Amino acid sequence: MVSKSKKEIRVRIAPSPTGYFHIGTARTALFNYLFARQNGGVFILRIEDTDLERSDKKFEEDIFDGLKWLGLEWDEGPVIDTQSQKSRQGRGSPEAAKVKSQNYIGKYGPYRQTERLDIYEKYINQLLDKNLAYYCFCSKEDLEAERQAMMTQGLAPKYSGRCRTLKPEEIQEKLHSNTSRIIRLKMPESKITFKDLIRGSISFDTGLIGDIAIAKDTRTPLYNFAVVIDDYEMKISHVIRGEDHVANTPKQIAIQKALDLPQPHYAHLPLILDSDRHKMSKRFSAASLKEYREEGYLPQAMINFMALLGWHSSPEQMQELGFSPDREIFNLDELVRFFNLKRVQKAGAIFNIDKLNWLNAQYLKFLKDKDLAELLKVKNVKIIALVRDRMKKISDFQELAGSLLNPVDYSFELLIWKDSPKEVILDNLKESLRIFSATLAVDFNQESLNKTIGLLAEQRGKGEVFWPIRAALSGKKNSPGPLEIAEAIGKKETIKRIETAIKKLSN
């Protein structure tokens, strides 16, 4: 366990509810959670919902569902009173928030940007009053024309700053006439350098960026501005996020400098890549956590898998503690213990579905039959025991055991062993039926049946006896052994299925 620093560790996950909870965002949430837990810090959930056109309640609910499924509980926010359906100020909460969902893990709701507009307005007005920001009235057409002209000259496109020098009366006139506008920050032409905890020192020339848009108006902040204010107000000490945010960092630091706000530590995680090394997307593979849940992956396996997307344990540490140096299976508590930002790689992390399937299969093996039965909502534990070793996902169960739970129709040809005459197979099934019927229910198990049906197979041929029984009981070419199935489905169902097979051959 890493010792707690003098300054409290405070991190956040800040998804936007404009799409389903992405596997990349879930991985970022996990890394923030692990870092907070091992440092005795605070893990915050903030919903960045200022994009009113694209934000959707169902996506917000999906975020809560995903975090709840993974078991990543956040530590702060409006306190939820489930009795009165109201909320009051929670730990460190700068304001109360309306309860919009009860699908939370613990007692706290999330922070939402749409409930913090007064806070953003205060800081935007500060920048306007200090002449560190200004209204820009350029049309989209003007901005696109500027962009094309710069690109034609081989220059990096940026805003020219034409509205920087507007006179106060011109600004008031345009505001009064409700001319379309945004608010821009006056970017200093200098070099901004910051130390990334994963990537080392990174520098940007702000002269190549131009004056950035920070708000549509004083009550409608844009992403980079709202993030800075929220991180300051929530006292975020470490911003741990995806590599695709590296380009946003100098803009956010410029806003911090303009408002004289402290700068948090930054750590940018590697992108998650498909097997073809392209950024993971819907086009190439399932991208939302919801899809993996529905496909039958366990949350423990997904946590373990996501942790290995860009992070690896220390072989020396593993060996010192008596573990295999190349150990790959870690539960959440162990990840809290062993996780270290210094061991997060810079290069992209390849999403290997075979690795996920292998991990999921391992976690399925850890489950007791009764626990797996409860998860599958299946009462017959014996059938689960028959197929569990071949399961990679929960969803595999129906394919592997569906015909054992409910008989399926099949052609009589399936009952024939190789070139055996139909009459021979029919006679063997009738004799098997006689033996099954004569066996007491208490002795209807693989061990006892092997002494009777097994003896018949020795006399008449294993294939000629066991194959038609297997086919009759499973309705498939490939299945567990016939006596294993018989024990699992029980005497009554076994007799019923053998009788059905006899009728098929007789007809």
Residue 81 binned pLDDT confidence (cut-offs 50, 70, 90): low
- Does residue 345 have a pLDDT over 80? yes
Among residues 269, 290, 314, the one where a domain terminates is: 269
- In a shared domain, residues 86 and 146: no
Give dist(CA 122, CA 259) in Å, integer. Answer: 11
Q: Which residue type sits at 99?
A: V
What mean pLDDT is reported for the chain?
Answer: 91
- Binning pLDDT at 50, 70 and 90, where does residue 281 land? low
pLDDT value of position 279: 77
Residue span of the structural domain in which 48 resides: 10-110
State the pairing for strand pair 349-350/111-112: unpaired
The answer to which of 6-10, 68-72, 433-437, 467-471 has the lowest mean pLDDT is 6-10
- Res 171 pLDDT > 70: yes
Q: Is residue 246 part of a domain?
A: yes
Q: What integer is the mean pLDDT of 27-54?
A: 95
**Ranges of H-type helices in 308-445:** 315-320, 332-338, 353-366, 369-376, 381-387, 396-405, 422-438
For residue 382, give both structure tokens: 């014996």
Q: Read off the pLDDT of each residue in 362-380 and give the average, rounded to a whole number.
A: 93
Instruction: Judge contact between 465 and 457, C-beta under 8 A.
Output: yes
- Give yes or no: residues 167 and 28 share one domain: no
Indicate whether 105 belongs to any domain. yes
Mean pLDDT of the 244-256 span: 97
Task: Taking residues 371-380, report their average pLDDT.
Answer: 93
Q: Assess whether 82 and 122 both reside in one domain.
A: no
Q: What would the mean pLDDT of 311-340 be, rounded to a whole number?
A: 94
User: Which residues make beta-bridge pairs with 135?
Assistant: 183
The yes-or-no verdict on residue 504 having pLDDT over 50 is: yes
Same-domain pairing of 72 and 190: no
Of 126, 134, 208, 122, nearest to 165 (Cα)? Answer: 134
Supply the pLDDT for residue 283: 43
313-324 pLDDT, tens per residue? 999 999 998 999
φ, ψ for residue 217, nearest 5 deg:
-160, -175
Q: How far is CA 470 from CA 53, 378, 396, 401, in A?
A: 58, 22, 20, 13
In a domain? residue 352: no
Give the Cα separation of 109 and 469 in Å (integer).
57
| Predicted pLDDT at 303 | 98
Instruction: Provide the pLDDT confidence category of residue 46 given band limits of 50, 70 and 90.
Output: very high
Distance CA 212, CA 184 (A): 5
Is 305 a domain residue? no
Domain boundary among 216, 236, 269: 269
**Domain edge (last residue) among 225, 240, 269:** 269
Lowest mean pLDDT among 10-24, 118-132, 275-289, 367-381: 275-289
Other C-beta atoms lying within 10 Å of the C-beta of residue 140: 8
Give residues with Cβ within 8 angstroms of 187, minimum separation 6.
206, 207, 209, 210, 211, 212, 251, 254
Q: Which strands make up the sheet holding 133-136, listed edge to edge?
A: 133-136, 182-185, 213-217, 220-221
Q: Is 282 annotated as a binding residue?
A: yes
Cα–Cα distance, 17 to 51 (Å, whole number): 9
Are residue 142 and residue 160 in the same domain, yes or no?
yes
The pLDDT, as a whole number, for residue 52 is: 86
- State the pLDDT at residue 401: 94
- Please tell me the total count of domains within the chain: 3
Res 363 pLDDT > 70: yes
Least confident span in 63-72, 133-142, 155-164, 300-309:
155-164
* pLDDT over 60 (residue 441): yes
Amino acid at position 151, single letter: M
Residue 185 has pLDDT above 60, yes or no: yes
DSSP letter assigned to residue 320: H
User: Residue 287, exposed/middle/buried by CB under 10 A (0-12, 13-18, 19+)?
Assistant: buried
Predicted pLDDT of residue 275: 81
- In this structure, is residue 354 part of a structural domain? no
Residue 286, pLDDT score: 55
Q: Is there a single domain that holds both residue 138 and residue 231?
A: yes
The pLDDT value recorded for residue 14 is 96
Look at residue 286 and tell me if it is in a domain: no
Structure tokens that stand for 41 in this block = 């810090």
**Residues ≥6 apart with Cβ < 8 Å to 274:** 280, 281, 284, 285, 350, 351
Q: What pLDDT is stored for residue 102 in this prediction?
A: 54
Distance, in Å, from the CA atom of 231 to the CA atom of 242, rounded to the nearest integer, reads: 16
3-state SS, residue 363? helix
Whether residue 128 is found in the same domain as residue 248? yes
Q: Is 341 exposed, middle or buried (0-12, 13-18, 19+ CB in 10 A)?
A: middle
pLDDT given at position 238: 98
Same domain, residue pair 175 and 86:
no
pLDDT digits (tens, 9 = 90+) for 205-239: 998 999 999 999 999 999 999 999 999 999 999 99
- Lookup result for tokens 């006892």: 448
Same structural domain, 106 and 121: no
By CB neighbour count within 10 A (0-12 exposed, 13-18 middle, 19+ buried), where does 147 fall?
Answer: middle
For the segment 277-283, the average pLDDT, to the nearest whole number, is 66
Residue 499, SS3? helix
Residues 131 and 207 occupy one common structural domain: yes
Alpha carbon distances (Å) from 126 to 96, 118, 215, 234, 435: 24, 13, 13, 19, 90
79 in a structural domain: yes
Domain shared by 123 and 263, yes or no: yes
**Among 78-92, 237-251, 464-478, whose mean pLDDT is lowest?**
78-92
Would you place residue 2 in the very low, low, confident or very high pLDDT band (cuts 50, 70, 90)?
very low
How far apart, in whole angstroms, are the C-alpha atoms of residue 140 and residue 382?
Answer: 67
* DSSP-assigned letter for residue 244: G
User: Bridge-partner residues for 350, per DSSP?
Assistant: 273
CATH number, position 186 = 3.40.50.620
**Residue 432 and residue 487 share a domain:** yes
Q: Could you tell me the two tokens for 62?
A: 């999906």
Structural domain contains residue 341: no
pTM of the model: 0.88
